[in-house]
Amino acid sequence: MKRLKTLRVRFALWTAGLLLVALLLFGLFVYTNMARSLTTTVDETLRPVVIQLTTEVELRGGELIVIENPIEDPEFAQLRDQGFSMRIFNLAGQPVFAYGPYQDLPQPQIDLTITDHSGEFATITDLATQDPVRLFTAPIVQEAGIVGVIQVAQNLKNVRRTLGLLLATLLIGGPLIVLMAGGFGYFLAARALAPIDEIIRTARHISAADLGARLNLPATEDEVGRLAATFDAMLARLEDAFRRERQFTADASHELRTPLAAMRAIIDSTITRQRTPAEYEQAFADLTQETDQMRRLTEGLLQLARNDVTQQPGKFEPLDLSILLKDVVDSLYPLAEDKGLRLIDNVPEKALFLQGDSDGLIRLFVNLLDNAIKYTEQGFVSISAKCNHDKWLTVMIRDTGIGIAPEDIPHIFDRFYRADGSRSKAGIGLGLAIAMNIARAHGGRITVESAVRNGSIFTVHLLAK
């Protein structure tokens, strides 16, 4: 019973069922048309025979006389073999001539007042022989009018035999064709659905601990081939997601362990003996620094986790990017001034509108500007923005800092990634990852151009409203 629920069995049954219905309709059509065609052939044989026979009938002295019976001629041998019979009646309804095996045919019922009567066909069963008989009755018309009635008949044994053979062929051949079609449909369904079986077997053996299994089926352009390719691509994405999740968990635990260990070391070192007020003050300052580091790390982790779940950093609403960027620049101006850097604002006054989350975008640009200031010892940091003709807003942050090595650029947006020591000071390794996450949530991206000791250019691409 369970196998009957499989897709291949249902496909085979549907194929066989639809073919059976089609064959029934086709067989009915063929049988009906064949019966009509064979009957029409018999009719077209009887009608000219009647016309020829009426030429051999004369009215002499008020009596009908058959001059000559042409049925005895050799050309009518086939008709005689098929049981051809003939009767001629006078106007009184009395038979004046009879020929053939069928002598008990019904009396002709024909209107003798209609001189242009073309005759009537009927199919009856002869009572004596029980043979099916095709009967044609027509008036005998001469110059004096209707002088009698002629009735001819021919058995339909050959017709019935032919129809019987056709029916047997349809009844035997039809089911055989249906069975063959069902079997062939099952075979085709099995071949077509084989990749699905492979998908099922692969899916049963996949677990979170081992996502490396792949179907690796030959590439095809049909639906099943595309399904297999999509399944492999989905497994690859899942494997990558689980890998990144495990890496993220490991990195997060390591990063959290570092400030905790430092805090524990400070506390243990402080309580080992009596300290001076200055030493206690320094210990508390060190604890405050480690606490801030841990707070920033925790907030970054929460931000990334929230964005991963919702795929959006917050509520989207119409924003003026120009105002938002100028507010960010104003907030970071003191930080640049403390380092003796010029913070150049090239953001246009005209409105740059987009749909976005203001808190998320502020965090994005604060992270980028803060990084630019942090890794620039002298020179300037500039920010500019414009709307391109292709409906993209681009925000460019340029600095004259230490730059990024080419081998580090592909990884700087990875979580907890740190380049060489000169770029890893006072950082938690999440700022650029959070910035990229926010940009992607807004349908955008961040690109980087940089060279060691020649500064960097971070360009944020966002969709305009």
- Domains detected in the chain: 3-161 (3.30.450), 223-307 (1.10.287.130), 315-463 (3.30.565.10)
Give me the mean pLDDT over the 142-171 stretch.
87
Tell me if 134 sits within 8 A of 153, measured CB to CB: yes
- Residue 372: pLDDT band with limits 50, 70, 90: very high
pLDDT at 13: 84
Q: Which residue has the higher pLDDT, 391 or 29?
A: 29
Return d(Cα 276, Cα 336) in angstroms, integer.
Answer: 36
Torsion of Cα atoms, 418 then 422 then 423 then 427, to 10°: 80
Tell me if 99 sits within 8 A of 71, measured CB to CB: yes
Q: Give me the residue label for tokens 């400030």.
A: 259
Instruction: List pLDDT tens digits, range 48-89.
Output: 888 888 877 777 766 777 766 666 666 666 677 777 888 888
Instruction: List pLDDT tens digits, range 117-131.
Output: 778 888 888 887 888
Return d(Cα 154, Cα 100) in angstroms, integer.
Answer: 9
Return d(Cα 25, Cα 37) in angstroms, integer.
Answer: 18
With a pLDDT cut of 90, the percent of the chain lying above it is 25
Return d(Cα 302, Cα 295) in angstroms, integer.
Answer: 10
Return d(Cα 197, Cα 188) in angstroms, integer.
Answer: 14
With a pLDDT cut of 70, the percent of the chain lying above it is 84
- Residues linked to residue 380 through DSSP beta bridges, in sequence order: 342
Give me the mean pLDDT over the 407-421 stretch.
78
**Mapped to the 3 state alphabet, what secondary structure does the chain carry?**
CCHHHCHHHHHHHHHHHHHHHHHHHHHHHHHHHHHHHHHHHHHHHHHHHHHHHHCCEEEECCEEEECCCHHHCHHHHHHHHCCCEEEEECCCCCEEEEECCCCCCCCCCCCCCCCCCCCEEEEEECCCCCCEEEEEEEEEEECCEEEEEEEEEEECHHHHHHHHHHHHHHHHHHHHHHHHHHHHHHHHHHHHHHHHHHHHHHHHHCECCECCCCCCCCCCCCHHHHHHHHHHHHHHHHHHHHHHHHHHHHHHHHHHHHHHHHHHHHHHHHHCCCCCHHHHHHHHHHHHHHHHHHHHHHHHHHHHHHHHHHCCCCCCEEEEHHHHHHHHHHHHHHHHHHCCCEEEEECCCCCCEEEECHHHHHHHHHHHHHHHHHCCCCCEEEEEEEECCCCEEEEEEEECCCCCCCCCHHHCCCCCCCCCHHHCCCCCCCHHHHHHHHHHHCCCEEEEEECCCCCEEEEEEEECC
Instruction: List pLDDT tens digits, range 301-349.
Output: 776 666 665 555 457 899 999 999 999 999 999 999 999 999 999 999 8
pLDDT at 365: 94
pLDDT at 376: 93
- pLDDT of 225 > 60? The answer is yes
Return d(Cα 162, Cα 170) in angstroms, integer.
Answer: 12
Return d(Cα 289, Cα 297) in angstroms, integer.
Answer: 12
Size (the chain), residues: 465
Q: Give me the residue label for tokens 């987009």.
A: 354
Tell me if 405 sits within 8 A of 419, measured CB to CB: yes
- Residue 446: pLDDT band with limits 50, 70, 90: very high
Q: How many CA atoms lie within 13 A of 440 on its CB side?
A: 12
- Residue 238: pLDDT band with limits 50, 70, 90: confident
Q: Terminal CA-to-CA distance of the chain, rounded, Å?
A: 58
Which tokens hold the place of 207? 């677990």
pLDDT at 96: 83
Sort strands 342-346 and 380-387 into parallel, antiparallel or unpaired: parallel
Return d(Cα 184, Cα 179) in angstroms, integer.
Answer: 8
pLDDT at 70: 64
Where does residue 88 rank: exposed (0-12), middle (13-18), buried (19+ CB within 10 A)? Answer: buried
Which tokens hold the place of 13? 């049954």
Tell me if 88 sits within 8 A of 149, measured CB to CB: yes
Which tokens hold the place of 8? 């291949």
pLDDT at 75: 62
Instruction: List pLDDT tens digits, range 278-313.
Output: 888 888 888 888 788 777 777 767 766 666 655 554
Q: What are phi and psi of 444, to 5 degrees?
A: -120, -160
pLDDT at 76: 64
Tell me if 433 sits within 8 A of 415, measured CB to CB: yes
Where does residue 67 rank: exposed (0-12), middle (13-18), buried (19+ CB within 10 A)? Answer: exposed
pLDDT at 395: 96
